């Protein structure tokens, strides 16, 4: 007869096993569903963002808000379960190195939030992104939960299968989008996005991408590149893990579909990430091929596919050439016909590249323009605008002031070089120029720039964004500005710089993972996070799984951290740390395969 102590221990182990089984399936559900959520939400514009949007109370979101909400809810439920599991298993459990690192990073996120000026945004995140402190804490507690509950190779592979399955659905949607058959533009797709409560808005939904451009369930085609860069190596990992030949063939077909979807997204950064992944995969297989001839075959197949893709398909060649041209021209400065700006309330003085200056003077809602000699320029008047045209030596100047939207457009043409640049301000307040709803001042018309990238149009104007983002890092270098507050700290008023780069569009992200975390969390949080990723790479240097982290870091050179990709990075990191502790159950592993 079993002793009472042994019976209690068996009961406890049985309870823990049931908890762990439920938690694994719950984690799989969260991991699977987060990237797929597309549902309409009218989001309140934060008070701190009114200078960009004015009196608008809400803006529509149907790609990101609920992804962030579901991730947070699911992650913290798992976290509470993980804590309960640890208490039941061992009341005196002590955190190991990985758990301590996660805890320290979470603490840095919290400290960054405490010191953030814009706490309303720093907590939940900014419009269309929603990657505030709550999201980053969700990543850490999700990683902790995966680290707690994954105990066998079967658990390990189930977590990966959940994400690969989700990306399979995303890729299938993307395949149809690349053929001009966008499910979300259909009547059924609109109904699913809006639900019954907002169904009356179905005819007003607008999709900003071309009908053959792949964005799938994500907010931006570039993020398709980020997701494929992560999921493609995971798919290759599963091809080696499964034994069933039919499943291998299906996974191989899916890997090809991912590359086609990547091509349809036209995400150059995604191509870089997948390129890095394929290169790392080949190196790893060659390293392992001494003991496995099948890996030599796999390398040969991958190399053949790469050769065909780069040399025989226009889409892949086009992206390759785009990247090559951007790199080749990165050090070629862009000529600007506008060289400087000064504000002497209420007048705006703009200096041209030929050193002549012109003055714009508001008079109530009337606009006066003076040339470099101080002479007032007479306008041509229509029902919709005033237009001022005059010469400044070899420069032709055209300034138009619209009555319809209050915009003032200034164009300066260098006739000798045949180069024209234009910039735009707003005139919607009496006696006051603004950019959107933020009045110009002597301070905000002068913009700090790192000037590291001469060609500010390089990489789709990322050169411009990076030059002006780097000074933000050194404004608050220790703990940063707070998660996802980048848009509100970026110098959105840049009359001279906008003329060669992005016009007057809102810069809402840095297009760089490293700048992103440095602005968010300063050097403290960034060093901790990158340190965790580096340790994961060191631990998993023999694992196909680690290639996803390399690909993510490569994509991060020109793409941001986003909710529906970064959470999986933390999951992969947790899996690499837990792999050494797996209880290899051969029977279960055999069933999985």
pLDDT digits (tens, 9 = 90+) for 425-476: 999 999 999 999 999 999 999 999 998 999 988 888 899 999 999 999 999 9
State the pLDDT confidence band at 7, using cuts at 50, 70 and 90: confident
The span from the CA of 77 to the CA of 84, in Å, is 11
Q: Are 30 and 100 in contact (CB under 8 A)?
A: no
Q: Are 495 and 533 in contact (CB under 8 A)?
A: no
What mean pLDDT do residues 283-299 have?
68
Lowest mean pLDDT among 50-54, 223-227, 357-361: 50-54
The alpha carbons of the chain give a radius of gyration, in whole angstroms, of: 27
Three-class DSSP category at 315 = helix
The number of beta carbons lying within 10 Å of the beta carbon of residue 297 is 12
Query: Which run of H or E residues covers position 341?
Result: strand 338-344
State the pLDDT confidence band at 314, using cuts at 50, 70 and 90: low
The span from the CA of 516 to the CA of 133, in Å, is 13
Before 346, cis peptide (omega within 30)?
yes
Contacts of residue 301, defined as CB under 8 A and 6 or more positions apart, other chains included, come to none
DSSP 481-511: S-TT-HHHHS----TTGGGTTTTT------S
| pLDDT at residue number 36 | 96
Structural tokens at position 287: 């390293």
Which residues sit opposite 425 in a β-bridge?
A: 408
| pLDDT at residue number 302 | 64
DSSP class of 559: S
Torsion of CA 23, 566, 305, 179, to 10 degrees: 90
Q: What is the pLDDT of residues 227-246, one digit of tens each?
A: 999 999 999 899 888 888 88
DSSP class of 185: G
Residue 417 has pLDDT above 60, yes or no: yes
Q: What is the pLDDT of residues 338-384, one digit of tens each?
A: 999 999 999 999 999 999 999 999 999 999 999 999 999 999 998 88
Q: Are 538 and 500 in contact (CB under 8 A)?
A: no
Q: Are 554 and 272 in contact (CB under 8 A)?
A: yes
Structural tokens at position 57: 């109370």
Residue 451 φ/ψ, nearest 5 degrees: 55, 35
Residue 150 has pLDDT above 60, yes or no: yes
Three-class DSSP category at 357 = strand
**Considering the entire predicted model, what is its pTM?**
0.92
| pLDDT at residue number 585 | 45
Pairing of strands 438-439, 432-435: antiparallel
Query: Which run of H or E residues covers position 170?
Result: helix 153-178
Q: What is the pLDDT of residues 371-415, one digit of tens each?
A: 999 999 999 998 889 999 999 999 999 999 998 889 999 999 999
Before 37, cis peptide (omega within 30)?
no
Residue 276 φ/ψ, nearest 5 degrees: -60, -40
| pLDDT at residue number 590 | 46
Residue 297 has pLDDT above 80, yes or no: no
């Amino acid at each position: 007869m079993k002793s009472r102590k042994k019976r209690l221990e068996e009961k406890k182990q049985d309870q823990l096993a049931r908890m762990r089984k439920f938690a694994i399936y719950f984690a799989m559900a969260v991991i699977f569903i987060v990237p797929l959520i597309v549902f309409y939400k009218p989001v309140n514009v934060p008070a701190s963002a009114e200078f960009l949007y004015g009196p608008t109370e809400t803006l529509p979101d149907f790609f990101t808000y609920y992804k962030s909400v579901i991730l947070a809810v699911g992650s913290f439920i798992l976290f509470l379960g993980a804590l309960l599991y640890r208490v039941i298993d061992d009341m005196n459990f002590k955190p190991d190195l990985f758990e301590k690192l996660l805890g320290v990073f979470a603490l840095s996120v919290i400290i960054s939030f405490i010191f953030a000026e814009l706490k309303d945004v720093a907590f939940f995140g900014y419009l269309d992104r929603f990657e505030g402190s709550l999201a980053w804490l969700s990543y850490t507690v999700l990683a902790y939960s995966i680290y707690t509950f994954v105990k066998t190779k079967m658990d390990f592979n189930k977590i990966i299968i959940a994400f690969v399955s989700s990306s399979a659905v995303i890729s299938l949607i993307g395949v149809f989008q690349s053929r001009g058959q966008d499910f979300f533009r259909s009547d059924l797709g609109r109904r699913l996005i809006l639900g019954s409560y907002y169904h009356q808005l179905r005819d007003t939904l607008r999709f900003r991408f071309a009908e053959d451009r792949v964005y799938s369930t994500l907010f931006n085609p570039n993020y398709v590149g980020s997701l494929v860069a992560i999921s493609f190596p995971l798919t290759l990992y599963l091809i080696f893990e499964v034994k069933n030949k039919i499943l291998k063939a299906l996974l191989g077909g899916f890997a090809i579909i991912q590359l086609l979807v990547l091509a349809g997204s036209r995400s150059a950064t995604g191509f870089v990430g997948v390129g890095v992944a394929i290169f790392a995969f080949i190196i790893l297989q060659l390293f392992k091929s001494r003991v496995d001839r099948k890996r030599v075959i796999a390398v040969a197949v991958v190399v053949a596919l790469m050769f065909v893709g780069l040399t025989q398909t226009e889409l892949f060649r086009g992206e390759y050439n785009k990247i090559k041209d951007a790199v080749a021209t990165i050090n070629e400065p862009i000529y600007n016909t506008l060289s400087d700006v000064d504000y002497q309330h209420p007048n705006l003085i703009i200096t041209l590249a030929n050193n002549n200056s012109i003055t714009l003077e508001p008079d109530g809602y009337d606009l006066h323009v003076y040339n470099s000699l101080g002479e007032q320029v007479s306008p041509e008047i229509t029902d919709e605008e005033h237009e001022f045209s005059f010469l400044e030596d070899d420069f032709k100047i055209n300034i138009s002031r619209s009555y319809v939207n209050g915009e003032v457009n200034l164009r300066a043409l260098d006739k000798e070089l045949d180069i024209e640049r234009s910039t735009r301000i707003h005139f919607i307040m009496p006696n006051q120029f603004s950019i959107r709803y933020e009045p110009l001042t002597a301070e905000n018309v002068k913009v700090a720039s790192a000037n590291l990238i001469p060609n500010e149009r390089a990489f789709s104007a990322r050169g411009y964004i990076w030059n002006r983002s780097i000074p933000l890092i050194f404004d608050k270098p220790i703990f940063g500005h707070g998660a996802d507050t980048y848009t509100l700290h970026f110098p959105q008023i840049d009359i001279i710089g906008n003329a060669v780069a992005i016009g007057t569009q809102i810069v809402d992200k840095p297009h760089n993972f490293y700048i992103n975390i440095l602005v968010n969390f300063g050097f403290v949080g960034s060093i901790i996070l990158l340190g965790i990723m580096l340790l994961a790479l060191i631990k998993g240097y023999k694992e196909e799984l680690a290639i996803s982290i390399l690909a993510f870091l490569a994509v991060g050179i020109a793409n941001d951290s986003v909710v529906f990709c970064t959470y999986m990075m933390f999951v992969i990191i947790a899996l690499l740390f837990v792999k050494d502790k797996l209880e290899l159950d051969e029977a279960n592993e055999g069933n999985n395969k």
